[in-house]
Each structure stands twice: as C-alpha cells, then as structure tokens.
Structure 1
Amino acid sequence: MMILVDNAGGEWPAINHSPWNGVTLADLVMPFFLFIVGVALALVYKKIPSKLDSTRKAILRSLKLFFLGVFLQGGYFHGENDLSYGVDLTLIRWCGILQRIAFVYLVVALCEVWLPRVQGSYFGFMQNYLFHWIFVVVTLTVYLSLLYGLKVPDWQFELPNNRNITMTVTCGTRSNLDPPCNAVGYVDRQILGVNHLDQRPVFIRTESCSINSPDYGPLPADAPVWCHAPFDPEGILSSVSAIVTCFIGLHYGHFIVQCKEHKQRIINFIVPAFILLALGYVLHLLGIKMNKPLYSFSYMCFTAGAAGAVFCLLYILVDVYDIRYPTLLLEWMGMNSLIIYTLAATDVLVDFIQGFYWKQPQKNLVRSFSSQVCSRKSWEPWISQISIIGELLVTLSTFCR
C-alpha cells in the first residue's frame, strides 16, 4: 500500500497521507502494521522458556530495526534525481517508520515477557492480563496529559535551504493541536533538537501552506512562518500513543491462543473492532480529530478498530473457509515485508535504478515510469471509456426495465 502511495500519491491525493486532520488510505498502514506486530507477539510468546533470553532477543531485534531505519530515513539517501549520498550528523533524522516499530515492539515485547498473567476462564481476559491493561491506561494517561497539559512556548528554527535565516514561531499556548504549537512537536524539539526532525513534514500540503492543497504546491501569499518549520510524524510522544495500537493487536493474539473455536474467536475479534471504530468516529465528531502526525486518541481507536475488522475478515476467508489463493501474494509479501519495504518503500531500489539516466539525471527510468504509469492523465482516457460503458449499461437496464 505504501509503495502505491509513494509512487501515485502525488497524482492521486485522495490516497496520500492526510495533510493534517482526517484519515486516508495511506494513514491506515502504520497502525495496521503495529496491530499485526502485536498479534505476532502473542503467538511468539505463547510459551517463554527463558525470560532473559527472550528479552535479549527482543532488544537485539529492536536495535537492528532502529539503526536500519536511521540508515534508510535519516537523510543518507537524498531522493529522486539527486545522485549524491551521505548525511550531516548535525542534521540526521533520528525518528522514522522503522524506528517507531522498533520502539513499540520493544515496549510491548518486554511487557508480554515480564508482566504477570493468570490463565483463567473464557470470560477472564481482562482479569488474566490486568497488568497489561494497567500499563495501557498509564500510557494513555501520560500521552493525553502531555498532549493537552504542556504549555508550548515560542520557538525558532533555521530555514532548511538557508541556515543563515532564523524564523520565529509564536505559540505560548496549551492544548493546541495545530501544526505549529502542539505538544508532540514541542517534546521532539526539546529532546531530539529541531534540526533532527523531518524537514518536509506532511502539513506543508495544508491549505495554509499550499495553493494546491491537499497536494504539494507553491506557498500562498499569506502563508504563515511555520509552513517552513520541521516536524516529525513519527516522533517520541506520538509513538507513546502508538504503543496502545500494538497492545490491541496483542489482545487479539491472546484471543487466538486461548479461544479454540472459530465462532469464539470471531466474536472476540469483531465486537472490539466495531466498538473502537464507533468510539473513534464519535470522538472525531465531538472535536477530538483523527490525526496521524499526532497519533490522536480518536485516530488510534478508529484505525485499531479498522485493523481488527480487516483481520477478522481475513481470518474468516483463510482460516474458516480455507480460501487462500486470493491472499497468496499478500502472504508472500508479509513473509518478506522488511526487504520489500527496504528496497521499494524507502526508495533504495529507486535510487539504484535512477543512477542510470540519459544525458540528464531527470531523464531516468524511474521518472519515465512514474510519468507514464502513475500520471492521472495517462489514466483519464481509460476512466472516460469506463464511464461511457457504465452509462450505456445504465441506459440499457432502464430500457429493459
């Protein structure tokens, strides 16, 4: 899904990440991945021969993911049409997708290994994993307290393309969830440093920062100063909220381990999924907006519920009815997800291919493929033909009726 979004999201903004509030197709990828990590952890730690050995393996795996993420998203690869490589350590980006997964995985794995649990009856899931849910409540309390309780002062940053110019963002507010003055960005700036954040954040596609919103575009004439500011969508505080998504997946894994019948499992899958979906949607309507960069509470509930619903659907399709052929490609991608992500979704393969170009770096195979396959214009003739066929079918059905 992210390969699709990364290559076609510019031409089709509806599938690209939401500029700020709201949920799109791309915004489901991260929580879905964290959810399935939780499910896998419940199966891996179904039996724990040695807690110390399990802890050592979890720490090593997290470190591998973290440093791979820094290498892929820290700034070493400079992107399309740029054939230079390397990163200034004073500007390296410490956070990223794999770094968040590594952090969340480590926390949830250690909780699953070390927190006490009591094997009980079918109705005792909450009691069996009481300490797990206490940890979840504490995590959410810390996240919400900091998000709404921290006062964000005025702050400064240097322009990415001109480090000699310093800009000032005026804040001095509390409980602000807008791009320039939220507590998520404040925590990252205090701990990581403003120069180590994402220099091209998603909010530059908002109406305030782009005349082509929700796509990238030139700045409006009255664009605010913060449109140039850095912000990390996989920062520290938002990753604390992301831990809860993985715990929900872990709970689904517990259902698999403890429930032995399909009906039992499906009921336990679908009921929490719809409760979370409804809760996230209601919170969004009440003003607690779904927001991926902040990993807001409503976003966490809605996307975890969506992950649970999709998981239940796939369980019914594959495990209950044994219909595997439509999912064989997904199964193969799931078993090789890290190498596929490394090569395709982080542009390692793209950077390699675009090294072969015709006279100018811009005339490479990557650019040619993107312009021909992912361009909206290349699909418009096909879409118009489909529309004409659809209109003919509607007319024919009306006539026959």
Structure 2
Amino acid sequence: MNIQNRIVSVDIFRGLTIVLMILVNNPGTWSHVYAPFLHAPWHGYTPTDLVFPFFLFIVGCSIVFAYQHKPVDATTYKKIAIRALKLIGLGLFLGAFTIHFPFFKDFENIRFPGVLQRIGVVFFFASILFINFNWKTLVGICAFLLIGYWLLMGFVPVNGMAPTFERAPNNLANYLDVLVFGTHSYKADYDPEGLLSTLPSIASALLGIFTGLILRSKRAKKEILLIGMGFLMLVVGYVWGLFFPINKALWSSSFVMVTAGWANIILGLIYYFSDVKGIKFGSIFKYAGANAIVLYFLSSFISKIMGLVKVDGDTSLKGWLFNTVYVQDFLAMETSSLLYGLSLVSIYVFLGYILYRKNIFIKV
C-alpha cells in the first residue's frame, strides 16, 4: 500500500498498541516489573490489560478499510482464509519452536491457543461477518455474543456445580479449556486465549468495525461521536461489571465494553489531532503500526531465542545481557527491567521506520 493511502490515526493507534505489546511482553526480568506493566491477577484490569483488546479493536477497524468495497465472492473468502491461517500458523510456530533439533517441542508440550492464533480466528470471523451483513445486523450479532457469553458463564452449571467467575474447576471457560486442550494450554487450569472466550473477543473486533464505519463515513464531527460512544461503553461496561466482573483472562463481556470504550476515546482524540487538525505527531507509532504483525512476530521470536540460548551455565543470553548492561547499583531493579524493554522497543520501532520509509508494508 502506498504511504499516501495510509490512514494516519489508525496507523498511530495500531502502532501505539503494538509498541505496548512488545514492551509489556519483554521486561528485563519478570521478578521486577512496575505494577502497571503487569496483568491484573484475575478480576479488574491494568493498563497492560488494555493492550490486546485494543489490537483486536483496531483489527476490526482495519477490516472496514480492507473489505468494505470487496466483492463477496470466492476470491475474497480465499484471501480472508489464507490470512487467518497465516496468523494461526505463525502463532503455533512461536509456541512450538525450540532451538534444539528438531527445533520443535514434543507434541504434548505445545500450547495450541495464543495471541496470534486468537488474532487469526477473530480476523476470520469478523471479516466474514462484515462482508455478509449490514451494520444493524452486526450490532445484533455483537449483542448476541456478549449477552450469550454472559449467560453461559453465569448460569450454566459445570459438572453439577453452580457456575463461577473465579479461577476454579466450575468456571465454564476454564472447564472447556481443560477438556478440549488438556496439556496444550497456557496453564493447567485455564488459558487466557481459550476456546469459549474467543466468542466475546470477536465482539471486540465487531466494535472496532463500527468505529471503522464511522471513520469511513462522510459525517462531520466524527471525533465527538467516537469519544461519546467511548464514554457510553465505559458506563455500560462498569455497570455490567457489577454482574459479570471485568476480567481479561475470561475476556468478560464487561471487559469488552470497557476496553472498547477506552479504545474509542483514545482513537477519537488521535483522529481529532492528526486528521482533523493536521497536527503531525506520533510518527514512531505510525511507523510501527504500518507493519504491526511483522514487528510483533519478530520481537516474540527473537526474545524466545534469547531466552533459550545459554551463555554462562544456566544463564540465558537475555539474562546475561540484562544483568551485564541494565542492572546498575544506582537503578531500582524495576527501572532496569523497564529500560531493557524500552531498548527492545526502540530497535523494533527503528525497523518499522526503515520499512515505512522504503514503502514496504508486509501483509501477513
């Protein structure tokens, strides 16, 4: 895609999200991380918990720009399916890869769900829904997914026990993850990118689609509508949270509304300053956002290698680099850990800048 055809505010938002994804996934040490850069233990949310739903939201927004005028035919379906399979394949590769021959973990130790897998699945279903239904029908589907998920989680007994939203065997989402994935999950008792919670994650992308439709429309004062929608979603999400707690691991319906609310507010502000007022800012995020998936995959893959390669007994290359360069007597360990992550982010932002300036946009 030509640089002039990029949507600046969408690229900035996407880039901000991918930069934060890289940052929160790459502290110098997980033993010393400032609280805002950690996920909430279970219920509630931190700034870090906003990052992944923001990305699914902007995936939905981007679907509008990519497929609004595409014909609904076999070619379009094929393109959607191929892209989804690429994302899922990259995610499975990351989960299975090891540096030792034959370079893949034993089958029973491979995690099936994951971040890229969820992006692929959500992209597939959100795209198919978008090209086949008008926005009013999509609103109904979105409501059905969120309300239906709440009813399943809150009212369906599990193994004869009353359902719960806690991390327990009678949590329906956790129960299904253990039943379906077994040892192929993130944890023995649940997976944050699990099977049932994929349903509300599709709703996160659908809410992004609605925002994309607004951005593509000819209506005036789009930023006011986006920000107003955002505050309304926050109210709905917090009220819903009284009955279905805000929870990233479960991707609860209240969590979907709250995160989409913040996404609309932030994107609305970026749109106002960058597209309405024409103020040039956030270029580093724009560069990263133009090749977001590529940068995320590279950061995850290289960080995994650095964690697996041993340079001094049981010390990994990452651990050696962190302890040698970043751990200093005059710095708190949390600060050293954050500086390590920021250093990695700067490398990938610079790579994004090079790709952007060379007009290279790699579509995965």
What's the TM-score, normalizing by structure 1?
A: 0.71
Structure 1 partner of 2:279: 323
Q: Does 1:136 align with 2:142?
A: yes
Match of 1:362 in 2: 315
Cα distance in 2, alignment partners of residues 257 and 97 from structure 1: 28
Q: Deviations over 1:350-386 (max 9, x none)?
A: 344467654424063x213334676697533999xxx
Which structure has more helix as a fraction of its residues? Answer: 2
For residues 238 and 213 of structure 2, what CA distance do their matches in structure 1 show? Answer: 26
Question: Which residue matches 1:5?
Answer: 24
Instruction: Note if contact 2:108-2:184 (Cα within 8 Å) is conserved in structure 1.
Output: yes
* Residue aligning to 1:178: 166
SS in structure 2 opposite 1:304?
helix
Q: Which residue is equivalent to 1:215?
A: none
For 2:154, the equivalent position in structure 1 comes to 148
Alignment correspondent of 1:343: 298
Contact 2:306 2:316 in 1 (8 A): no
CA distance in 2, matches of 1:96, 1:356: 23
User: Is the 2:32–2:333 contact (alpha carbons within 8 Å) kept by the matching residues of 1?
Assistant: no
User: TM-score normalized by structure 2?
Assistant: 0.78
Q: Which structure features the higher share of strand residues?
A: 1
SS of corresponding position for 2:247: coil
How many residue pairs end up in the alignment? Answer: 312
Instruction: Report the residue type matching 1:379 in the other structure.
Output: L
User: Is the CA contact (8 Å cut-off) linking 1:28 and 1:303 kept in structure 2?
Assistant: yes
Alpha-carbon separation, structure 2, partners of 1:243 and 1:363: 37
Which one has a bigger Cα radius of gyration?
1
How many percent of aligned residue pairs carry the same amino acid? 29
Q: Which residue of 1 aligns with 2:181?
A: 193
SS of the residue aligned with 2:190?
coil
* Letter aligned with residue 36 of structure 1: I
Question: Conserved in 2, the CA contact under 8 Å of 1:41 and 1:109?
Answer: yes
Per-residue CA deviation, residues 190-236 of structure 1 (Å, 9 max, x unaligned), is: 3x23212113xxxxxxxxxxxxxxxxxxxxxxxxxxxxx33110011
1:76 aligns with 2:97: yes
Q: For structure 1, list consecutive stretches of 5 or more residues without a partner in the other structure.
A: 118-128, 154-171, 200-228, 384-401
CA–CA separation in structure 2 for the residues paired with 1:39 and 1:363: 39
Q: CA deviation at 1:20?
A: 0.7
1:104 to 97, 122, 126: 122
Give the letter for the 1:140 counterpart: L
Name the stretch that deviates more: 269-278 or 85-94: 85-94
Counterpart selection for 1:39 from 58, 61, 71: 61
Q: State the alpha-carbon separation in 2 of the partners of residues 179 and 77 from structure 1.
A: 30
- Return the match for 1:59 from 71, 81, 87: 81
**Once superposed, what is the RMSD of the aligned Cα atoms?**
2.6
Give the residue type in structure 2 aligned to 1:93: R
1:289 matched to which residue of 2?
A: 245
The code of the aligned residue for 1:293 comes to A
Distance 1:323 1:377, change over 3 A: farther
SS at match of 2:197: helix
Q: What is the distance in 2 between the residues matched to 1:254 and 1:23?
A: 28
1:286-335 Cα shifts (integer Å, max 9, x gaps): 253210010112111111101111111111121112222x3111111111
Closer, same or farther in 2 for the Cα pair 1:355/1:198, shift >3 Å? closer
The SS at the match of 1:244 is: helix
User: 1:246-285 maps to which residues of 2 (within 5 A)?
Assistant: 246-261=205-220, 263=221, 265-284=222-241
Q: Could you tell me which runs of 5 or more consecutive residues in structure 2 were left unpaired when the two chains were aligned.
A: 1-19, 336-364
| Counterpart-to-counterpart distance in 2, 1:179 and 1:375 | 36
Give the superposition deviation at 1:12: 2.0
